[in-house]
Amino acid sequence: MKQVRDLPRNGDKIGRVDTNGTLGEGEKTMDELTRIRAPELPDKLEWFNTDQALTLRGQRGKVVLLDFWSYCCINCMHVLPDLRYLENKYPETLTVIGIHSPKFENERIGTQLQKAINRHHIRHPVASDPTFQLWRAYGIKAWPSVIFIDPEGYVVGVLRGEGRRRQLDDLISKHLDEAEEKGVLKYSSTPVSLKPEADSMLSFPGKVLATRNNLYISDSGRNRILETYHDGKIRRVFGSGTGGMLDGCESAAMFDNPQGMVMVGDFLYVADTGNHAIRRIHLKTGEVMTLAGTGKQGRYVADSFREPMDAALNSPWDLSYYESNLYIAMAGQHQIWRMNLNHLAIERYAGSGSEDIVDGPLDTASFAQPSGLAIHEECLYVVDAETSAIREIHRNRNVVNTLVGKGLFDFGDRSGVGREARLQHPLGISADSERNTLWIADTYNSKIKRIDMQTKEVSTFKFAFKLNEPGGLSLYRNKLFIANTNEHQIVVLDLQSRMAEVVNVRE
């Protein structure tokens, strides 16, 4: 759960519902207080997934959930499957409305928000609240927060953080029963009008891996891994295209929003983000196997497991490999984990679990949604998305340092040396030994940045091609392959000529 700084907060008396289904300490039930009518939605909101502006008055007779979210936030992403479950269970008596309150400047742009809605498969109406008008009206203090409104239009409480499916389900059932007894329950479908992406071979590819002969593409929006030649000709497809968790051969297997990959010998390891699992593809046989994860999200702070299949992981987003160890960017836990491929034990490697930017020893250092990894010599480099930072782990000294970045709310688009520079929610990184350079996918600036590993100077690498939220990078010789996520493309950039072109991914 991400706290927000420097935003005015009103002194509302809306109750806070705790994880056990009761109100927070020192708060009273709504029967003991004057019931609070839910503040109406402003007239001038920009709406998505619907052709008409919604009002709370128009939803009377149904339970309404207002989901205050930001599309960058991993905790907000974790809430979406719960909301989808509830929408399917109560199709005519529940209305879910996403209230998008952006953290980053890029998230204020309507076209980018529409892309995020499609990328996350959101099927309920979403209103953009870039000035935080509704945020203030409801006294929200953190992402994610869900406001619960009963069928008579009164606020029951606010549920902060993730993992609230059962609690929300119980509350919805209770208030629907009460509304039926009072004779105020109404049945109606929520007006939804989707704007899907244009047909393309790829759907929101998150990461790419270039090897001597092949490209491996996380076709994240279609829940599959593609093996292609460098020119884009598809050789094999791993995953059926339907989200799920199933081992099997090639397209008989199932993934859910796969992201980072790394090759070790004859095996391709995959961060299967939506399944909270690490998968392995035997490239000689095409067999897909689960190595770690139960398929359910876990929230461990400091654990180790001799049986990785018993470890409930938390949104692994990228992978790197060095000396028998698989390093895992555990975005949902704000940590780096490590899996020994000889003994198959898995453990926390670095990070306290708190979402922050704190340097120091591995156990006490803090990360914020690590989403990209790269190994260079004795250092593991980490892209910390939510602090717009690049972190450096000295493996021999077991210490974490910050190369670029300052805090959770310090971001921008600025060249400079080390911490003078600013990025905006970067997601990808690739190490370049020949040029002594780190290549960065500066995702929300839609740029490629270059960090000189000797001088620590950060600069924009200019070339004549427009990117749109690139999520992953992979270097092979003089070619930098870019997962141009929001344009459903893989782009290849020649670092010598600075010429870029789209890889023609085709069957």
Q: What are 369-416's pLDDT values in tens digits? A: 999 999 998 999 999 999 999 999 998 899 999 999 999 999 999 999
For residues 17 and 116, the model is more confident at 116
| Bridge partners, 374 (sequence order) | 381
**Domain ranges, ordered by start, for the chain:** 2-182, 208-502
Q: How many whole angstroms separate alpha carbon 204 and alpha carbon 317?
A: 15
CATH (residue range 208-502): 2.120.10.30
Residue type, 362: L
Among the listed residues 317, 205, 213, the one whose alpha carbon sits nearest the alpha carbon of residue 261: 317
Give residue 3's pLDDT. Answer: 65
Q: How many whole angstroms separate alpha carbon 255 and alpha carbon 239?
A: 6
pLDDT digits (tens, 9 = 90+) for 287-302: 999 999 999 999 876 6
Three-state SS at 320: strand
Binned at pLDDT 50, 70 and 90, residue 18 comes out as: very low
pLDDT digits (tens, 9 = 90+) for 98-153: 999 999 999 999 999 999 999 999 999 999 999 999 999 999 999 999 999 999 99
Any idea what DSSP says for residue 199? P
Give residue 13's pLDDT. Answer: 37
Among the listed residues 192, 48, 70, the one whose alpha carbon sits nearest the alpha carbon of residue 135: 70
Helix (H) or strand (E) holding 136: helix 133-137
What mean pLDDT is predicted for residues 76-91? 98
What mean pLDDT is predicted for residues 177-200? 97
Binned at pLDDT 50, 70 and 90, residue 24 comes out as: very low
- Is the CATH number 3.40.630.30 carried by domain 2-182? no
Residue 421, pLDDT above cutoff 60: yes
Give residue 148's pLDDT. Answer: 98
Give residue 4's pLDDT. Answer: 56
Give residue 11's pLDDT. Answer: 30
- Verdict on whether the full-model pTM lies above 0.85: yes
Of all residues in the chain, what percent carry a pLDDT higher than 90? 90
pLDDT digits (tens, 9 = 90+) for 347-375: 999 999 999 999 999 999 999 999 999 99
Give residue 213's pLDDT. Answer: 94
Mean pLDDT of the chain: 93
List all residues 6 or more positions away from 131 whose beta carbon is below 8 Å from its beta carbon. Answer: none
